[in-house]
Amino acid sequence: MNVCFIMYPWDQIDPENDSTLALIKECAKRGHGLAMCTPANLTIRNSVTNAFCTVLNRMEKVPSSLRAFYKKADLREEMLPLAGFDAIFFRANPPLDPIMLNFLDSVKDDVFIINSLEGMREANNKLYTAAFGDAHSNIIPATHVSKNKRYLIRQIKESKADKMILKPLNGYGGSGVILIEKSAMSNINSLLDFYITNSDGSSNYVILQDYIEGADQGDIRILLLNGEPIGAMKRVPGSDDHRSNVSAGGSVQKHNLTKTEKALCKQIGPKLVNDGLYFVGIDVIGGKLVEVNVMSPGGITYMNKVYKPKVKIEEKVIDFLESKVLDKLQAFDRRARLRKTVEDA
């Protein structure tokens, strides 16, 4: 099959730990055609959606290590029609570009896209957790989302907890996540001004969330494929940072899913699949869902390392991608045969 990865620039890849690179390498190992492009490189030519692609020339032998694969990759630039691919794998970092989705709307019936455009429109930011209808905070911590500074300050003051988490709605990789405490209320005004108000006068939504006891010990990243967990790890904060994201200095450890975490996955899995969110990363603390990552969930290489040699997450993901593409091709073939029968009648 031929796969186009819509992602961040090739030269921004971390050749040691990049999850997208692991997926690309697995496709190359299986002999699939590969191209990469950024959202900014989508274009329309003669009413056909194309992309200025970086194409990976096929290798006689794919190196075993990610770093060697990245170093030996032979690339060329070419404009290609997106409808000519069998699959589009979306791996760009947040925030989601709505114009990019408009480009892809024209090919969504021709190409299998992971994750689906409709799913990404619905779930591309941290508001998606509210879609699980958890009014009693059984699976998500009490959460407030607003641009109204007075409202947010009131929620902080009225909270029974001494600590809360504040973060931007469209952040990722732990960027902008801070711990606030009632004992430092004198700083809250300026913090909210910084997060909410832009220099051009526009404003941003922020999330205020109950602090979950035990968060200082780390969180659990779980990768779900087609609604089922396929890997997990514990992320532990560094000594100088409350955030457990590896990009923020955290470290990873092995983790076996608890009964509560398995139940959580079982509860949210059907909705994820129904929304076309086939490959998702969720962050869990104390058995509660903190975030759903649908654009470019990471953790593949770290899970592989802590469970080596038993786990190769990318193999499961590409197995699934191949099966979905095969299903789509068989549906196309069946429709063509049926149409011919009607035409020949």
Going along the chain from its start, the domains and CATH numbers come out as: 2-114+315-332 (3.40.50.20), 142-210 (3.30.1490.20), 216-311 (3.30.470.20)
Q: What is the pTM of this model?
A: 0.87
DSSP 197: B
| Range in 92-101, 180-189, 281-290, 298-307 the model is least confident about | 180-189
Q: ∠ at Cα 66 (321, 13), nearest 5°?
A: 85
Is a pLDDT exceeding 60 seen at residue 248? no
Neighbours of 190 (CB within 10 A): 9
- The predicted-structure confidence for 192-212, as pLDDT tens digits, reads as follows 999 998 888 889 999 998 888
**Residue 105 to residue 117: CA distance in whole angstroms:** 7
Is a pLDDT exceeding 90 seen at residue 57? yes
- Give mean pLDDT, residues 133-156: 83
What percent of the chain has pLDDT above 70? 94
pLDDT of residue 241: 55
- The predicted-structure confidence for 279-305, as pLDDT tens digits, reads as follows 999 999 999 998 899 999 999 999 999
Is a pLDDT exceeding 80 seen at residue 174? no
More confident residue, 89 or 127: 89
pLDDT of residue 137: 55
b/e map of 6-35 (b: 16 or more CB within 10 Å)? Answer: bbbebeebeeebbbbbbbbbbbbbeebbbb
pLDDT of residue 140: 87
pLDDT of residue 135: 56
**Pick from 91, 176, 76: which is nearest to 126 by CA?**
176
Q: CB of 223 within 8 A of CB of 300?
A: yes
- Give mean pLDDT, residues 14-41: 97
pLDDT of residue 187: 84
